[in-house]
A and B are shown apart, each in its own frame.
Chain A
Amino acid sequence: MLFAWLILGTFGAAAVAPWLYRRAGARAGWLLAAWPLLVVAAAVGRLVRPGCPAEAAGWDWAPTLGLRVGLYVDGLSLLMILLVAGIGALVLVYGGGYLKGDARLGRFYAQTLLFMGAMLGVSTAGDLISLFVFWELTSIASFLLIGFHHADAGTRSAARQALLVTGGGGLALLAGSLLLGLAGGSFEIVQLAGAAASIRSHGHYGAILILVVLGAATKSAQAPFHFWLPGAMAAPTPVSAYLHSATMVKAGVFLLARLAPVLGGTAEWHYLLTLLGVTTMLLGALMALGQTDLKRLLAYSTVSMLGLLVLLLGLDTTMAVEAALVILLVHSLYKGALFMVAGAVDHETGTRNVQDLGGLFRCMPVTAVAAGLAALSMSGFPPLLGYIGKELLYEAKLQAPGVGWLILGAGVLANALNVAVALTVGIRPFLGRPKRPRAPVHEAPPALLTGPVLLAVLGLVFGLMPGMLAGPVIAPAAAAVHAQATQIELKLWHGVNAVLLLSLATMAVGAGLFAMRKRVRRLGERLALTVPFTPSRIYGQLLEGLMDLAKDQTRILQHGRLRGYIFTVLAGAVAATAWGAWGYIQWTRPDRLAPVSPVAVVVGMLVVAAALAAVRAASRLGAVLALGGVGFGVSLLYMVYGAPDLAITQLLVETLTMILFVLVLRRLPRLREFSASRQRLRDGCIAAAVGITMTGLVWQALQVQLGPAISEFYARSSVPLAFGRNVVNVILVDFRALDTLGEITVLAVAALGAVYLLQRRRPPQEGPP
């Protein structure tokens, strides 16, 4: 299956990207962009095929769990693939220019391609489980990309915030997917769509809907989770252009569109999404008011547009879905272009503050033209694609059942505010007189121009020839969302009607807001101050609370007193064992006891004497020696009862332990403080309890025969199956080799820890010793 290879290839490209950057240097971005262009070509090739049939494939992942990795490519997937790979290619080129000379550019390429692969996976996932895996992978890649400048504490916290919010939503999505799989009897989206009727009437439907929408809302920055998106502007601008306008934030919208045939069409779907969408749309637009940073302006307007997309999916009419898909595309084109313009301006002038920018047209004419085209498209100015999007949008809202007028009013307001944002970002910095004269500003280099110019021009071309999009791209996608074929017609001119008047009104109000932008900005700033508690502040408090909880529990459990640890471990073990097993232990003499040899009696008495000596010892060395006596005595007992391997091991461990003890003892002060008698009493009680419990357990183990003894199997099979007469060794390295592997791994890790702790106490040394 072609697209599976293309996705794998994207991950492969991510793996070789750093190496390629070291070899090819500045040209690496252009070379790497060839791969996503290949993906675009494959998608276009599929789209121009008549009828654009959906294609499905699957591979077993864990058959015992019924898990499969499924691939499903239909019109909706192809639209997303075009966006992800197409804009991804431009971002690779753009990033090469933007981060030129940065030693970590190779890492940028790798992470961007990793993200691209994950996003392609989300777009083509045929089942909920693969969808979830790729979904989480986009969160992780986004975390890495936002935190690109990780030396900065603010950047780190922004990256963590984005990860926690989208990751938390991912958990909700996982729960929702599992419930959906239970309700629908399958994880495969096609089969779920087939069972849609029974899922919608299922008792879990409400929970499924809320969990899935939670996942989509966190990813697509819906209120009240919108705050991570403006925070994520700490990322380098190419990342913002890619993840935070064109692709990742659209994943939530994509998820809703993908599951619309499964979950959509109900009153709950309609009201939940409409409410969420309208709130987000207005909130984003209003919060954009007080901003002066180019990227933050764009981020808030993106939040607003994401709200609009969710709203349209909630309206759930043919027209609304069509509008949503067109806007999904057009928004990626103009917002990607404007982000790249903002980055180019920042790159050339050193500032992103709109108050410090002006008159750049003379120095950066190409950038200015791209910015102007994108801004006009964003404002819905004919003949750009944005105009067609806005017409469709108003038509859908006019047709919407129920509370149409309210939604329409909110829509006009939000759009007018977005027009003002478009003019502020895309037009204002290039007109007027240059502000704050400083070093002469130059036009951006080709790498920074290719992306915005191409995206802006595409907005114009598609606007003039909407037929290029309608049939081949939008119609198959709409068919996928509606689960039936639809005819799509996109036109520039519809005649004079209500929609046209609404468009004109929007532009007029937007231009008016732009003209009064200073007053509007002050209003926005005051508005932001009046809100008593914002989601981002709640997030901050929750995070702080979590940290405090972690600190408290660490202080209680990990107090650092060795004695306390031993006390907890021993008392806990005895209590748990006693609670579970006390009633079962029979203190009768087992009949399988070996005869007690006189030698064993003597050795046993020596062990007891050594233990008593250890307790009574007045110096550390004495105590250690006495403990060693206990150990040697026990290994003698092993010898007496015919377990030479055990005896040798115990003997060697005792020897090494003794040496280690002596090495440590050199550093310790003499024993001066002895425990008070109450503590001694307590310790004595615990010691006695441990001894009695262990004896009881061993005693009991001899009497209980649960099944045929495994030791007989080992003894019997050791030579024929494993060609070894030493049963202990055969068990260790063959029969139970996996256990041993685990044990030696633990041993190695423990040694790493011990060596690190010992070395840390020494002052750092110059160079290797």
Chain B
Amino acid sequence: MGSVLGVSGESTLTEEEAAALRDEVVAELALVVGDRWVTAEPAILDGYAWQYLAEAATGERWMARPLAVVLPGCTEDVAEIVRHCNHKGIQFKAVSTGFGAWGAAAQPDSMVQIDLRRMDRILEIDAKNMYAVVEPYVTGNQLQTEAFSVGLNTHIAGVGGQTSVLASATSMMGQGWDGVSMSFSCRNLLGAEWVTPEGEIVRIGSFESAGRWFAGDGPGPSIRGVFRGFAGALGGLGVFTKAAVKLYPWEGPEALEVGGASPYYETEIPEHHLSALCIVDDWKGMAELGYRLGDAGIALAVSRNAPSVMGAVLTADNNEFADIYEVPFVHELYYTLVVIIQADDAEEFAYKVDVLKTILRELDGGMIANLPAHEYTYWLGRFIRTLSRRVKAKGLLKSAPGTLGLFRTFGKRYGYRKLTSSMSALLYEAVVRSGLNMRGVFRFGGTFWTAMGSLASWDNAIKGARVGAQIKKRYIDEGKFFDDGADNAWGGLYENGAYSHLEELACYDPTDDDSGANVIGYIFETNLASAEHFLSLPLNACGPQASTFFSPLCGGYQNWQLAIKNTYDPNNASEGSSYVIPDYKPGRGLRKLAGNVMSDRAEIDLTQDDL
């Protein structure tokens, strides 16, 4: 397929030149950080080239090897490394916990990989004013664990609790299960320390003036706007070495009670917390449920998960998943939202749960939740009744043997006494700790990618999910993607429903030689449909390729992005293959692929209520 990142994928240096440059760079950077913290050992470099989604970025399983890897210990080290790269005319790109091709080199021997893992401290938690200051290698779960201990919580991006808080807040997306109460990553940024592409250290927000990180905007215009839009610059506009992020109230214990053994953890749902899988009849019901939950402002988390991904999250391996997914009613659980509620005391909890019940009654829906036994049964009955309108009595009957099998499996594992609460507890753990996300998407085929997912109104997001599923179905029918039922839209509400997102996950086998082309085709086709159906900018509207397509449809924003890149990075030192490439021209491979997609596209029929 060839590179789609807009660079050749070939080194511009001979082997001898590359070796000489590598030696030179290692020796010079060692003067900055010490011998121990810089290397060009091939095996180490390959560790940075082995990246998730490389097959889509390069057509191969690997990204390019960087020239060298350097591990700075502090901001001043980073600034010196960046200035050195500018001076040498080579590029750099930083990575913290790392997750994907965009953190790696697109072209061999062209850049220094700055690995920020030594900068791993939580510098401050201001419990009174509800913010934390973190270095790049602090993960969501680390920060959350410390925040819980002072009655606070943190937004964790959908990529999972194992990834960097700073990276998501400053540089990369930020959707998450908890957006309804804890917003979107970049909206939580209260300031940052930014090493610009030229190596200047800029402290954004109140910190430089006031010595505290309570505000991220000003004086005057917000510099956050320069480096962080919907997507972030994905490493293409300097390096972030500190970030202050908002924390949010946590009405739970200082630490969650977790039992069991890996991978069968059991999390105790705390008092005054509800974990509910809520069901309605169809997308119209989903739209109403989302809007009403947003208006009510009662939820800690609201998350839509399709049956396949939910099955994967609840199970530990694919055999177990198959047992669940073969039960007929399970793969009809399309119109569900996971709703987590927390409350300060019993009275507030009862009020919030009663609001949820009222909404579900209005929509003729049901729920499976950690409610007292008699209520559990009542709401389970409503859940089954709602589901039966879809699968009919015949479907329920066919599901009976499989359901009994599931009861046996889960009963043995979690104890029959806990059978009714085990699913709620698993969903609670998945959503609150964001700890099971990746087993929901990597396991089926070995990897996944995603599409659609604009930040828009809930109605628009639902429309996007329906369009995405219809496109993906053809890829499934042609054997390109794993059959997850086509509708595998994940997402939810943000800021009590102020905006929303639903992205269409696609699972596939990255060892398949055509997988890269398939997923790029999927990205292109869903991007095209997003434009045609006015679904705002999808999450794949990132990087030079997508910007070339979308910019003319959106006021020519790529011209302004280019101006920002050229203005703040005049030497093009900050590797921007997933952000902005100053002289980018779409490659022949990409043009051919686009032609193929254009000539043979899925038909979108939005008059269907569902698939």
Whether both chains belong to one complex is answered with no
Residues of chain B whose beta carbon lies under 8 Å from any beta carbon of chain A: none
Residues of chain A whose beta carbon lies under 8 Å from any beta carbon of chain B: none
